[in-house]
Amino acid sequence: MAEEKHVILTGDRPTGKLHIGHYVGSLKNRVELQNTGKYDTFIMIADQQALTDNARDPEKIRRSLHEVALDYLAVGIDPKKSTILVQSQIPALSELTMHYLNLVTVARLRRNPTVKTEIKQKKFGESVPAGFFIYPVSQAADITAFKADTVPVGDDQEPMLEQTREIVRTFNRIYQQDILVEPEGVFPPKGQGRIPGLDGNAKMSKSLGNAIYLSDDADTVQKKVMSMYTDPTHIKVSDPGHVEGNTVFTYLDIFDPDKEQVAKLKEQYQAGGLGDVKIKRYLNEVLEAELEPIRKRREEYAANLDYVDQVLKEGSARANEVANQTLKEVRDAIGINYFGRL
């Protein structure tokens, strides 16, 4: 008898191209999990969630849909092994969100630390869009619609998963049905969940202009690497340098498979005698080895957008079958499936 597969749900907001922070933080992990064959994987392009704080600029979301899909396919997400879907094309998610909203208090949503941080970052003040405020509930709908028990996310998303687990427990208890599944997070290796930006800022992000994108050509990557923040006290090649907080070495720790070589370079740099230009050139070679095959595949898919659309359409159709079944069970449990069909 075949072992029952675990179900993964993960995804990204289409607000621009994906960068190496996304790659290290989640994309690489998704490909590895997909390739084990132990998971039924759903990967969502969360356009509706992106609209919660971009409703006045829908063109940005539409434009980014293909960019994110191309990045997925380029890093090795395989439509034969994973279902790539578009959130807005799954109507059941909106109704599930409505049912779950009745089980969550405004006070509980206010306490969510991830939402609090994002409200501050986006400078909403008192003008928080209601859709944005409730997005942890919408995320719970996304996860539970596919009965996902495994959710690969960044460290900052644990409060979202806890909110989902609370909704699952509340629903199952109130309606005395064991329908919804509690998810567990799968987090990146320590120190790799979030990589610093090129400027040494704690986070790589599009808005800060400090990112290397998966779609960047080789010249652009090289220019960005050569502009990277290193050690401001390392003025002459002969000066001893600091490795801690030095973004170049942080990237080498993450991307260079030759850990012995990295250890040697750190030793040399700390002793003095290893220049920033030389170490940056080495990092550029390491990054190119990882990014060049991704870039090549991305260009091939970009030349065939009809195929990309077909992948998204077929994935969304499969996702609808699964989500509609969950919604039917939820309606049955509440007792509002009055006429016996969805």
pLDDT tens track of the chain, all 342 residues?
456 899 999 999 999 999 999 998 889 989 999 999 999 999 999 999 999 999 999 999 999 999 999 999 999 999 999 999 999 999 999 999 999 999 999 999 999 998 898 898 888 988 999 999 999 999 999 999 999 999 988 777 889 999 999 999 999 999 999 999 999 998 877 766 678 999 988 788 887 889 999 999 999 999 999 999 898 889 888 899 999 989 999 999 999 999 999 999 999 999 998 999 999 999 999 999 999 999 999 999 999 999 999 999 999 999 999 999 999 999 999 999 999 765
In a domain, 199, yes or no: no
In a domain, 151, yes or no: yes
In a domain, 154, yes or no: yes
Query: 232 and 189, same structural domain?
Result: no
Query: 294 and 172, same structural domain?
Result: no
Helices (H), 11-53: 20-22, 28-36, 47-51
In a domain, 201, yes or no: no
The values of phi and psi at residue 167, to 5°, are -65, -45
Query: 266 and 150, same structural domain?
Result: no
In the chain, how many domains are there? 2
In a domain, 341, yes or no: no
Q: What is the CATH number of the domain that holds 97?
A: 3.40.50.620
Query: 161 and 76, same structural domain?
Result: yes
Q: What is the DSSP string of 192-241?
A: -SSPPPTTS-SS--TTTT---BTT--HHHHHHHHHT----TT--STTS--
Four-point Cα dihedral 84, 157, 291, 191, nearest 10: -150
Query: 127 and 262, same structural domain?
Result: no
Domain hosting 247: range is 218-300
Q: What is the CATH number of the domain that holds 231?
A: 1.10.240.10
Query: 130 and 245, same structural domain?
Result: no
Query: 230 and 119, same structural domain?
Result: no
Of 55, 58, 83, the residue nearest 69 (C-alpha): 83
The values of phi and psi at residue 81, to 5°, are -110, -25
The values of phi and psi at residue 315, to 5°, are -65, -45
In a domain, 189, yes or no: yes
Query: 118 and 93, same structural domain?
Result: yes
Distance CA(15)–CA(156), nearest Å, equals 19
CA distances from 143 to 39, 83, 135, 285, 334 (A): 15, 14, 12, 39, 19
Query: 17 and 136, same structural domain?
Result: yes
Coil, helix or strand at residue 40: strand
In a domain, 207, yes or no: no
Query: 172 and 188, same structural domain?
Result: yes
The set of residues, in sequence order, having a beta carbon less than 8 Å from that of 130 and lying 6+ positions away, is: none
The set of residues, in sequence order, having a beta carbon less than 8 Å from that of 311 and lying 6+ positions away, is: 69, 73, 79, 84
Query: 176 and 319, same structural domain?
Result: yes
In a domain, 339, yes or no: no
- 124: which 2 tokens? 């909403």
C-beta of residue 201 within 8 angstroms of C-beta of residue 210:
yes
Query: 158 and 26, same structural domain?
Result: yes
Distance CA(283)–CA(213), nearest Å, equals 16
